[in-house]
């Protein structure tokens, strides 16, 4: 009879005990036996040290007060801690914690997409130098295992594109604007009341939360570091009911869409913006706070990954999955785990060179000749017009200021941007034009 090996306890250092951190503790306690069985029946994970801002704050989980600290160094330096979990967010203290853990040879699990998108090059270099892995499944799309999919399941594929909805807060707001006719402020307030949006929702609605995730996916898929400053990002703050109504009438829905696509010359297109997508496309059916990523590989073809993109349980699920992988690798030749750059010639396509059709809304002073003035400048630039419309407010039929909508044929974004600068200079234009991409997916 085979003798059962002695049970091993793996100590965890947890930086952050907020929503996700508490979820991780709950999941580890709830599924302790299951996790042990799936790691060979001899592994137990124990939280040994926890970084918190206020040790006296009531929490949904019970942690021995002696294990709480307000000094992150105690988490990393504790000899009982074998794996460090960073869940505090931000890019300053979080960077110090992760860097110190890697230098100490302690594997790191993090869900911090901003940290990895903005300072990942430095951290992954430390990971290689100290042969200590970083696991970050929770950084993109909550409980959807998209990181492992790109790193492992698609390792034999050339990935042609990854197109997705990867911010649940924005998706919820846009859906409520569509279904309930709410304006942006009303839908945002509802999302905050339901806990889907933070008190400060800036990163969700301005597009940068999703952009950080898209940067990580693109880096993994195409093998080179991407500078966030070179990525085109536009949020949903300027979406109005008028835009939603037009999209609906034309057979589209408005989604905050991440587009990652490799072009034949090897350039990678990466952009994040509100877009019109056809109602017939599967991404149009992604509702509420759910996320979805459509991946097109040359061998696998089209695949769709769908699930909850945020929240305590889905994100904790990804963190615990990474913890199990980190535990399995503690006593093996795991090597580097994380971003493995393999291209020195990787290049982002300038957003000015990317082409789609467009929906453009102008705030104009309503007077004769306005449409002709705008149309002439578009014609001079060689940009075709497929339709124009100026909705009339029945409560103010003689309003001096109105919205004017133009639907434009496909052209390079740079060509459109230069033309819009000229149009904005017209004395009949009252504010910067609002642009939505019309995507062919």
What residues act catalytically?
213
First to last CA, the chain: 59
Helix (H) or strand (E) holding 361: strand 355-365
**365-368: Cβ within 8 A, 24+ apart:** 365/400, 365/401, 365/427, 365/428, 365/430, 366/390, 366/399, 366/400, 366/401, 366/402, 367/428
Count of CB atoms situated within 10 Å of the CB of 419: 22
Q: Please, what is the Cα angle at 63 between 144 and 33, to 5 degrees?
A: 55
C-alpha span between 178 and 173 (Å, rounded): 9
Alpha-carbon torsion (260, 360, 288, 188), positive or negative: positive
Q: Dihedral through CA 221, CA 281, CA 196, CA 167, nearest 10?
A: 20
CA R_g for the chain? 25
Q: How far apart, in whole angstroms, are the C-alpha atoms of residue 288 and residue 323?
A: 29
Say which DSSP state 2 is in.
P
| Residue 414, token pair as written in the block | 């740079």
């Amino acid at each position: 009879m085979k003798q059962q090996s002695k049970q091993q306890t793996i100590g965890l250092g947890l930086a952050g005990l907020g929503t996700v951190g508490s979820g991780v503790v709950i999941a580890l306690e709830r599924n302790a036996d299951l996790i042990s069985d799936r790691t060979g029946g001899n592994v137990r994970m124990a939280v040994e040290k926890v970084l918190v801002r206020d040790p006296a704050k009531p929490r949904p989980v019970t942690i021995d007060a002696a294990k709480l600290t307000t000094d992150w160094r105690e988490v990393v330096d504790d000899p009982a801690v074998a794996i460090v979990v960073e869940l505090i967010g931000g890019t300053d203290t979080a960077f110090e914690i992760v860097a110190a853990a890697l230098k100490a040879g302690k594997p790191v699990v993090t869900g911090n997409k901003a940290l990895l998108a903005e300072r990942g090059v430095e951290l992954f270099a430390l990971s290689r130098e100290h042969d200590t892995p970083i696991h970050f499944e929770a950084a993109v799309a909550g409980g959807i295992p998209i990181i492992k999919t790109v790193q492992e399941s698609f390792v034999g594929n050339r990935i042609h594109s990854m197109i997705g909805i990867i911010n649940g807060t924005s998706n919820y707001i846009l859906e409520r604007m569509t279904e309930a006719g709410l304006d942006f402020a009303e839908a945002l307030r509802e999302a905050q009341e339901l806990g889907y949006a933070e008190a400060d929702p800036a990163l969700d609605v301005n597009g940068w939360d999703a952009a950080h995730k898209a940067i990580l996916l693109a880096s993994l898929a195409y093998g080179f570091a991407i500078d966030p400053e070179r990525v085109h990002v536009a949020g949903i703050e300027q979406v109005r009911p008028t835009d939603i109504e037009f999209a609906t009438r034309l057979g589209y829905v408005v989604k905050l869409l991440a587009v990652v696509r490799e072009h034949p010359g090897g350039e990678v297109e990466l952009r994040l913006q509100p877009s019109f997508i056809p109602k017939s496309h599967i991404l149009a059916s992604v509702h509420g706070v759910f996320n979805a990523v459509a991946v097109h590989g040359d061998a696998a073809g089209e695949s769709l990954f769908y699930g909850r993109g945020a929240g305590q349980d889905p994100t904790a699920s990804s963190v615990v999955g990474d913890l199990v992988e980190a535990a399995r690798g503690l006593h093996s030749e795991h090597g580097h785990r994380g971003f493995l750059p393999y291209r020195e010639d990787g290049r982002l396509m300038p957003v000015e060179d990317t082409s789609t059709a467009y929906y453009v809304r102008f705030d104009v002073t309503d007077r004769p000749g306005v449409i002709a003035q705008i149309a002439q400048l578009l014609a001079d630039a060689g940009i075709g017009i497929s339709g124009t419309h100026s909705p009339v407010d029945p409560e103010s039929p003689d309003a001096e200021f109105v919205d004017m909508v133009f639907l434009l044929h496909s052209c390079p974004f740079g060509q459109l941007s230069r033309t819009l600068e000229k149009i904005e200079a017209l004395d009949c234009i009252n504010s910067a034009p609002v642009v939505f991409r019309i995507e062919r997916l």
